[in-house]
A and B are shown apart, each in its own frame.
Chain A
C-alpha cells in the first residue's frame, strides 16, 4: 500500500467541514469562555472575575463546588457501573451469535432497534414499564416483594437508570464485538480445532486479542455517552429523588437554563468539556497505536 502523499491542497476539501463545526462549536465556546471569566451585577454589565468561578467550582467547601463534586462522582459511578455490565454482556452475546446463518441478519436488526428510539421515548417506555401499577417490570419486582419505587427510593432510581442504559446501549457493544469476531478468518478457528483448543482457550488466545481494537472504540463510545447522559434520567426520575440521579449534564442544565447562573454554568461547562477532551485524547492515541501496529 503506497503511503498517503502530502498535499496541502486537500485543505480545500476540509474547509466546508471546518466552517460548520467552527460555527457550531468554537463560536458557542467563546461565549462560554466569556462568561466563565467575568461576573455581572445584572443589567448585563460585566467585570473581570479571572479564575474566580473555577476556584469556587473546584473547591468542594463552596456550595457550587460541593454540588459539582457530587454530580461528577455520581456520573463517574454511573459510567463505570454501566460499562462494567455492558462490555462483558455485549461480548458474551456477540459470542452467542452464530458466525453465519439466516438468523444472524434478523437478530442484528432486532438487537439494533433500542438504539434507534428517541431518547425521550426510551424514558417514556421505562417510565411506564417501571410503574408498579401499570408496568410489567414494576409489577414483577414489587410482586416478588422487593421494595421498589423509582420516584421515591434513591437506590431504586439509580438502579433503574443503570438498567435502562444497559437495555438501551448494550446492543452497541454486541454489534461492534460481533463485527470484530466476524473479521477473524476461518483458518484461525480451524487451527484451534486442530490444536485441540478448548472454547475458553480459543476465546482468550484468538478472539480477545482480535477484539482489542473494536473494544477500545466500544468503551470510548460507551464511556462518553454515559458520561453525558441527560434525557433518560430527566424523563424517568427528573434527577430525583432529591439529587440521587442528578448527573453532571442535568445539574449543568439546571444551573445554566434554570437558575441562569452564567458564571458557574460557564466554568462548569469548560471543566466538563475538558474532562471529555482528555478521555477522547487517551482513546484516540490508543486507537492510532493499534492501527499502526496492525499495519506493521
Chain B
C-alpha cells in the first residue's frame, strides 16, 4: 500500500537543461493518495509517459525525489518498487496458460502452491477469466490478454501502485466500454492506487477520481472531472477538455462586466484588480453559449452541426469564431442571430490563468 509523493520531480533529456524547452518534464510537486485513481491526460509528447516511466523506474528523473510512503525510491530499480503495469499492447507469456501467467509473479516470490491457486482463482473471477484459465494465453483476444496483464499485477496483495500506459489502444472500439467498466469495478473492489496515461479525455474522465492535465511537459491542472469542466484553471484545459473546447475571446474586464467586440456582457463575479498589460480573455463553454433572438451579442452563423441529441452552431463574433448551442425549441436558425453567455459559467483569464472573481 503506497502513497506516492512527487517532490520537485523533473526530467531533462540532455544533462544540463538551460531553458524550459530542454525539460521533457517540468518540476512537479504532488502527492498521490492511496486507493485513488489518477489519469495523466494530454496530447502526445506532453511528458505523460515520461512521468509514468519515472514512477515505474524505467526512467531515473534528472531532478527531484520520488517517495513511496516514506521510502525514497527515486533511484530504486523497477523490481524493488513492487508496482504493476499494463502496457499499450498486451504483454503475456505465450508459452503459458492463463492460470500460469497469473501465477507467475507469485511463483517467483516462492509463495506456497495453495496460496497461489486461491489468489489466482480470486483475481480470475474478478476479471471474468475463470472460463479461460486453462487455455494457452496466445490464442485469446486483445482485451482478454490485457486483463491477464492486469491480473499479473493484481495477484500480488502488496502491490504499491498499478500503472496503465494507454491500455485501450489496440482494443476494438466496440469492446472499449466493457474493459473500461471492468477497470473501474476492479478499482472499486481493490483499495489500490492506479495511474492511467491516455490522450483520450473520455477514458481519463471516466476512469479517474482526479485528472492531471499535461501540456508541453507541464502539469497544467490537477482536479476532478467536474473541476476541469466547470472551472478550467488554464486556457489549455478549457480547450482540451470538452468536445468542442471552450470559447476564448479577448475582452476588457471592469468590475462585473466585460467588453467583447464593443458589446457589454455580465460576469458571474466582480474582478476589481486585474494586472495591467496581461492578456485578458473570457472563457465560456459552448454548452453555456446559447443562440437567442434577443439580447446578447450579434453573430453570423457559419454552419449548423446536427448531432441528433443536440445541435451546435459555428458562428463568427466579429473576427472570432465561437461555438454555441442551438436551443432545442429554436427550429430554424437565421444567418444573422445573437448569442448569450451564461454569467455563472463565464471565466476570466489573464495570461491563460483563471482569475477568481469576488462574489458580485
Let me know if chains A and B touch directly in the complex, using CB atoms closer than 8 Å: yes
Chain A contacts to B: CB under 8 angstroms: 185, 187-188, 190-191, 193-198, 201, 204-206, 209
B108 touches A187 (CB 8 A): no
B153 contacts which chain A residues (CB < 8 A)?
Answer: 194
Most buried by A among B58, B83, B93, B104: B93
B78 touches A193 (CB 8 A): yes
Which B83-132 residues have a C-beta within 8 angstroms of A?
Answer: 83-85, 87-89, 91, 93-96, 104-105, 108-109
A190 touches B95 (CB 8 A): no
A196 touches B93 (CB 8 A): no
Chain B contacts to A: CB under 8 angstroms: 56, 58, 77-79, 83-85, 87-89, 91, 93-96, 104-105, 108-109, 149, 152-153
Which of A190, A197, A198 sits near B58, CB closer than 8 Å? A190
Which of B79, B93, B96 sits near A194, CB closer than 8 Å? B79
- Write 30 A-B pairs (CB below 8 A) sorted by A numbering: A185-B91, A187-B88, A187-B89, A188-B91, A190-B56, A190-B58, A190-B87, A191-B85, A191-B87, A191-B149, A191-B152, A193-B77, A193-B78, A194-B83, A194-B84, A194-B85, A194-B152, A194-B153, A195-B104, A195-B108, A195-B152, A196-B79, A196-B105, A196-B109, A201-B108, A205-B93, A205-B104, A209-B93, A209-B94, A209-B95
- B94–chain A nearest beta-carbon distance, Å: 5
B109 contacts which chain A residues (CB < 8 A)?
Answer: 196
A205 touches B96 (CB 8 A): yes
Most buried by B among A188, A193, A196: A196
Query: Which residue on A lies nearest to B92, using beta carbons?
Result: A191
B87 contacts which chain A residues (CB < 8 A)?
Answer: 187, 190-191
Which of A190, A197, A209 sits near B85, CB closer than 8 Å? A190
B79 contacts which chain A residues (CB < 8 A)?
Answer: 193-194, 196
A206 contacts which chain B residues (CB < 8 A)?
Answer: 93
A196 contacts which chain B residues (CB < 8 A)?
Answer: 79, 105, 108-109
B94 contacts which chain A residues (CB < 8 A)?
Answer: 209
A198 contacts which chain B residues (CB < 8 A)?
Answer: 108
- B334–chain A nearest beta-carbon distance, Å: 49
Instruction: Decide yes or no: A205 and B95 within 8 Å by CB, A191-B87, A195-B104 being known contacts.
Output: yes
The distance in angstroms between the C-alpha atoms of A185 and B90, with both chains bound, is 11
B105 contacts which chain A residues (CB < 8 A)?
Answer: 194-196
Query: Which residue on B lies nearest to A196, using beta carbons?
Result: B108
The distance in angstroms between the C-alpha atoms of A201 and B106, with both chains bound, is 13
The distance in angstroms between the C-alpha atoms of A198 and B105, with both chains bound, is 10
- A31–chain B nearest beta-carbon distance, Å: 50
- B331–chain A nearest beta-carbon distance, Å: 47
B58 contacts which chain A residues (CB < 8 A)?
Answer: 190
B77 contacts which chain A residues (CB < 8 A)?
Answer: 193
Most buried by A among B88, B104, B109, B152: B104
B104 touches A197 (CB 8 A): yes
The distance in angstroms between the C-alpha atoms of A194 and B153, with both chains bound, is 8
- A283–chain B nearest beta-carbon distance, Å: 22
The distance in angstroms between the C-alpha atoms of A247 and B43, with both chains bound, is 65
The distance in angstroms between the C-alpha atoms of A198 and B107, with both chains bound, is 11
The distance in angstroms between the C-alpha atoms of A206 and B87, with both chains bound, is 16
